[in-house]
Amino acid sequence: MSEPRKQQAPGRDREGLKRAAFETVAVHAGGDPDVETGAVVPPIYAVSTYAQDSVGSPRSGYVYGRGSNPTRTRLEQRLAALEGGSFACAFSSGMAAEDAVFRALCRPGDEVLIPTDVYGGTYRLLDKVFSLWGLKYVPVSISDSNAVRLAIKPGVTRLIWCETPTNPLLNVADIRQLATVAHEAGTLLVVDNTFASPCLQQPLMLGADIAVHSTTKYIGGHSDVIGGATVTQSQDLDAAIRFHQNAAGAVPSPFDAWLVLRGSQTLAVRVNQQSDTALSLATEISKHPAVERVFYPGLDVHPGHQLASRQMRKYGGMISFTLAGGENAALQVCNSVKLFTLAESLGAVESLICHPLRMTHASAAGSSVAPPANLVRLSIGLEAFDDLASDLFVALDSVK
């Protein structure tokens, strides 16, 4: 993780942090001590409106809490810095962030390209909400940049929606290539970077136009808050999204913004550890006779392994695998683990297990983007490898 030593030492100000390593940015960006009191931890500004000194002269730019809030501003500064971007908008959920992107950038008659195994909530939003407003979606194999290029309809395809690694099949897409494909065709590349987190990959640095996050997951990291965000280098894209942040108002509460701020400070240590444990677990699970196939980009049998090795700093904390014994075996594994918690969501300190088809991706069941019925998904937390491995192996042994 260490960056080459720079001539000038990093400081805690915005300019200084541009020279700092990711771990340092995660702790300090947007986190200066409170100007009034010196409090080391940012205050939670529980407030809806701000006094004006005279009509039209708000004291420091803050007017009304839907539009902006100082705790949220700090979070937006942190998120922008984590992605190597210039602007971020924080939302009350990852879906609210996605909703704002589609509203801001798409118009009736437009099409968006989505991964064939896109996150279930994204599929539902497009299929059940935006299709009613004339926005079409086209599933495409996002790991195949050429297939994406061929699926673009000039003047109609408004954006390419990319997840990498995908949820739940951990397919890897080439962000740099997709950005080129998108820009050659005059469209935009949006990357849902929830799975990798900016600790492992920074899509904007690879040419993507917008990074989207469910901060509920790795960035928050403690299963205690729902949140979302968009990050971009473009002032125009940010302004378009920010307009909807205020106009539709799906903003995080000051306390929620504070929780994400706090969680994000340990992002690097958590994700590094989770990635190491996941790589060891994926390797072990592959050897178990009850397991049909393991989906983890860190394994050299994974079709995206080479690309992931170039594009990501590590391979992340998410593992999926199919069971030779079919759906019943998958359900039994989910139901018999004791240390893993059976729950939706991912990216937190405790390890979770889920059956995507019946849980996270139930809204895609029966569709072309439905996950396999014998698939189990793991989110690796911060427990010790040995404890997680023995819990999982007892469950796997029971379906042998």
Ligand X SMILES: *Cc1c(COP(=O)(O)O)cnc(C)c1O
Active site residues: 66, 119, 192, 217
Q: State in angstroms the smallest separation of the CB of 94 from ligand X.
A: 2
Q: Is there binding between residue 192 and ligand X (CB under 6 A)?
A: yes
Q: Which is nearer to ligand X, 95 or 173 (CB)?
A: 95
Which member of 69, 145, 187, 194 binds ligand X (CB under 6 A)?
194
> Which range binds ligand X by CB under 6 A, 50-58, 190-198, 200-208, 275-283?
190-198
> Which range binds ligand X by CB under 6 A, 93-101, 152-160, 232-240, 250-258?
93-101
Size of the residue set binding ligand X (CB under 6 A)? 15
Which member of 121, 168, 254, 372 binds ligand X (CB under 6 A)?
121
- Return the residues of window 153-182 that contact ligand X according to CB under 6 A: 163, 167
For residue 130, which amino acid is it? F
DSSP per-residue string spanning 317-341? SEEEEEETTHHHHHHHHHHH-SSSE
Q: Which is nearer to ligand X, 93 or 245 (CB)?
A: 93
Residue 257 and residue 120 in contact, taking contact as beta carbons nearer than 8 Å: no
Q: Which is nearer to ligand X, 93 or 336 (CB)?
A: 93
Q: Which residue has the tokens 């340990």?
A: 266
Q: Which is nearer to ligand X, 251 or 329 (CB)?
A: 251
Q: State in angstroms the smallest separation of the CB of 173 from ligand X.
A: 13
Cβ burial, residue 288 (10 Å; 0-12/13-18/19+): middle
Q: Count Cβ atoms below 10 Å from residue 7 Cβ, excluding itself.
A: 5
Q: Is there binding between residue 95 and ligand X (CB under 6 A)?
A: yes
Q: Which is nearer to ligand X, 226 or 312 (CB)?
A: 226
Distance CA 396, CA 173 (A): 30
Q: State in angstroms the smallest separation of the CB of 93 from ligand X.
A: 3
Which member of 119, 161, 295, 340 binds ligand X (CB under 6 A)?
119
> Which range binds ligand X by CB under 6 A, 92-100, 288-296, 327-335, 372-380?
92-100
Strands (E), 176-242: 188-192, 210-214, 228-232
Q: State in angstroms the smallest separation of the CB of 330 from ligand X.
A: 19
Distance CA 385, CA 382 (A): 8
Binding mask 38-77 for ligand X (x = CB under 6 A): ----------------------------------------
Q: Is there binding between residue 93 and ligand X (CB under 6 A)?
A: yes
Q: Which is nearer to ligand X, 93 or 233 (CB)?
A: 93
Distance CA 203, CA 83 (A): 8
Distance CA 105, CA 129 (A): 15
Q: Estimate the share of the chain in helix, then strand, then coil, as percent rounded to the nearest 5.
A: 40, 15, 45
Q: Which is nearer to ligand X, 17 or 251 (CB)?
A: 251
Residue 397 and residue 351 in contact, taking contact as beta carbons nearer than 8 Å: no
Q: Is there binding between residue 99 and ligand X (CB under 6 A)?
A: no
Torsion 319-211-174-155 (CA) sign: positive
Q: Is there binding between residue 256 and ligand X (CB under 6 A)?
A: no
Give every strand in the sheet of 352-354, ordered side by side: 291-295, 318-323, 375-379, 352-354, 341-342
- Return the residues of window 197-236 that contact ligand X according to CB under 6 A: 214, 216-217, 226, 228
From residue 282, how far is each of 315, 335, 398 by CA, in Å?
11, 20, 19
Cβ-closest position to ligand X: 94
Distance CA 214, CA 122 (A): 11
For residue 72, which amino acid is it? R
Binding site for ligand X (CB under 6 A): 93-95, 119, 121, 163, 167, 192, 194-195, 214, 216-217, 226, 228
